[in-house]
């Protein structure tokens, strides 16, 4: 099998596994315990927090460790929504339909059960949220704006620095889901200007089941998981010490190796895009060609069932995705396909091909040799 689904998840780097291993058995203490076992565990969390803070150019106490990117999104959006409504009465939240379900489903829940008013921002034909769209939608009653750094399904990078500046001028909190972006884009929170930023380790060769939320000092936040006083009273529960260590090491390696990883995969990605558009009739690139994650190629093929194409690809030895890795069993086009204005005939036929540091040129040659006939077969079988 040739793995071409690195936006869904990545293998854990062997160096990350090595860093984590002692904390499963040798240094197994509860970081909340007073004795030496606990002190060792607590010290490892402290050093991990400092390591993450160095990458983000923030203070260690602005890093909250969570169980995943989705939990980080929930803590940011729910916590800030409740806090801002209590503080100012503001109860409008702005986000686009092209956001990850961790954001859109959270907002729908807040609207249905907590009375918040949700305004869905339009995206352009490439799935981008422009600063002009945000500026036009903001009002006096806006509590939070949430716009993802880069889209998981179509790879488009949003101008979050400019959007953050608009929010700052208007004294509105700005959150970005950077789960897809972290592997390849700069994460300096001061340069980006964000108030909150969500990360998940398994997108950059760390373990599944651990994430982080950056929260700028002074940002009001109500905890959504209550209990003990862990994570500065914002996220209760005994910390997952080995996974936190793994998160920090994976992020450190990502920062150190980001440029060489991008230089390795971007030419391979460009070859995929060029070859697919040249050799497969009724195909189009989804997402922005220029403002795009370097490892990400995504397409829509007219008149095919994307899930059928994935099955054919899997049988031929290629692991790809039809968009988000979160299966819904829904035969309709994804929210992202609808948001960028594709008809049902095009939107059902989406394909996402994402590369990683272990992807080889031979893998791409094999994939490009097989894909045209598999698309043709999928059209015939529909």
Residue range 240-250, pLDDT digits in tens: 999 999 999 99
Same-domain check for residues 81 and 198? yes
Half-sphere exposure of 93 (CA within 13 A, CB side): 30
Q: Are residues 227 and 159 in the same domain?
A: yes
| Same domain membership, residue 280 and residue 192 | no
Which among 324, 362, 351, 350 has a CA at the least distance from the CA of 2?
A: 362
Start-to-end Cα distance in the chain: 25
Range 173-194 average pLDDT: 98
Span 184-209, mean pLDDT? 98
Q: Answer yes or no: is pLDDT of 218 > 90.
A: yes
How many C-beta atoms lie closer than 10 Å to residue 40's C-beta?
18
For β-strands 142-146 and 92-96, DSSP reports them as parallel
pLDDT of residue 326: 52
Judge if 66 and 92 occupy the same domain. Answer: yes
Residue 77 has pLDDT above 70, yes or no: yes
CA-to-CA distance for 46 and 244, rounded, in angstroms?
10
Q: What's the pLDDT score for residue 322?
A: 87
Please check whether residues 192 and 338 belong to one and the same domain: no
- pLDDT of res. 332: 83
221 & 296 share domain: no
Last residue of a domain, one of 254, 275, 298: 254
* Residue-range definition of the domain harbouring residue 170: 14-254
Q: Is the same domain home to 85 and 199?
A: yes
Query: 254, 285, 310 — which closes off a domain?
Result: 254
Q: What is the pLDDT of residues 351-381, one digit of tens each?
A: 999 999 999 999 999 999 999 999 999 999 8
> Domain of 272: which CATH number?
3.90.1150.10
Please state, as a whole number, how many other Cβ atoms lie within 10 Å of the Cβ of residue 118. 17
- Whether the pLDDT of residue 276 is over 70: the answer is yes
Do 64 and 196 reside in the same domain of the chain? yes
Please give the Cα distance from 318 to 312 (Å, whole number): 9
Cα 258 to Cα 107, 155, 212, 301, 367: the distances in Å are 32, 17, 19, 32, 25
Where does the pLDDT of residue 83 fall: very low under 50, low under 70, confident under 90, or very high at 90 and above? very high
Nearest to 116 by CA among 85, 158, 95, 150: 85
In this predicted model, what pLDDT tens digit does every residue of 90-111 receive, in sequence order? Answer: 999 999 999 999 999 999 999 9
Of residues 155, 162, 130, the one with CA closest to residue 287: 155
Residue 91's contacts (CB-CB under 8 Å, 6 or more residues apart) are: 81, 85, 115, 116, 117, 141, 143
Q: Phi, psi at residue 159, to the nearest 5°?
A: -80, 70
Report the C-alpha gap between 374 and 24 in whole angstroms: 45
One domain, residues 356 and 225? no
- On whether both 192 and 313 belong to a single domain, the answer is no
Domain boundary among 254, 289, 312: 254
pLDDT interval class at 327 (50, 70, 90): low
Residue 246 three-state SS: helix
Which tens digit of pLDDT belongs to each residue from 123-149? 999 999 999 999 999 999 999 999 999
Tell me what the mean pLDDT of segment 12-40 comes to. 97
Report the domain count for the chain. 2
Q: 350-354 and 63-66: which strand pairing? A: unpaired
Q: Is 320 a catalytic residue?
A: no
Q: What is the CATH number of the domain that holds 88?
A: 3.40.640.10
């Amino acid at each position: 099998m040739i793995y071409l689904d690195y936006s869904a998840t990545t293998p854990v780097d062997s160096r990350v596994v090595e860093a984590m291993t002692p904390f499963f058995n040798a240094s197994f203490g509860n970081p909340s315990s007073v004795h030496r076992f606990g002190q060792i565990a607590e010290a490892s969390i402290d050093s991990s927090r400092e390591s993450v803070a160095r990458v983000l150019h923030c203070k260690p106490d602005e890093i909250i460790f969570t169980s995943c990117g989705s939990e980080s999104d929930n803590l940011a959006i729910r916590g800030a929504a409740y806090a801002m409504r209590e503080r100012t009465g503001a109860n409008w939240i702005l986000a686009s339909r092209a956001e990850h379900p961790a954001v859109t489903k959270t907002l729908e829940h807040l609207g249905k059960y907590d009375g918040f008013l949700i305004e869905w921002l339009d995206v352009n034909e490439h799935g981008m949220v422009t600063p002009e769209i945000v500026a036009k939608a903001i009002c006096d009653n806006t509590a939070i704006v949430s716009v993802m750094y880069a889209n998981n399904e179509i790879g488009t990078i949003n101008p979050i620095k400019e959007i953050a500046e608009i929010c700052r001028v208007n004294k509105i909190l700005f959150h970005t889901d950077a789960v897809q972006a972290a592997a390849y884009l700069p994460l300096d929170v001061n340069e980006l200007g964000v108030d909150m930023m969500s990360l998940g380790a398994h997108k950059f060769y760390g373990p599944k089941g651990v994430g982080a939320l950056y929260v700028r000092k002074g940002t009001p936040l109500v905890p959504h998981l209550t209990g003990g006083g862990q994570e500065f009273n914002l996220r209760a529960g005994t910390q997952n010490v080995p996974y936190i260590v793994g998160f920090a090491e994976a992020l450190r390696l990502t920062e150190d190796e980001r440029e060489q990883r991008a230089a390795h995969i971007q030419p391979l990605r460009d070859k995929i895009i060029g070859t697919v558009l040249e050799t497969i009739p009724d195909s189009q690139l989804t997402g922005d060609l220029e403002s795009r994650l370097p490892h990400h190629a995504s397409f829509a093929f007219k008149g095919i069932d994307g899930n059928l194409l994935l099955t054919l690809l899997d049988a031929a030895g290629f692991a790809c995705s039809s968009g988000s890795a979160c299966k819904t069993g829904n035969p309709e086009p994804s929210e992202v396909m609808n948001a960028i204005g594709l008809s049902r005939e095009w939107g059902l036929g989406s394909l996402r091909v994402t590369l990683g540091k272990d992807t080889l040129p031979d893998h791409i040659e094999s994939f490009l040799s097989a894909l045209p006939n598999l698309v043709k077969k999928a059209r015939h079988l529909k």
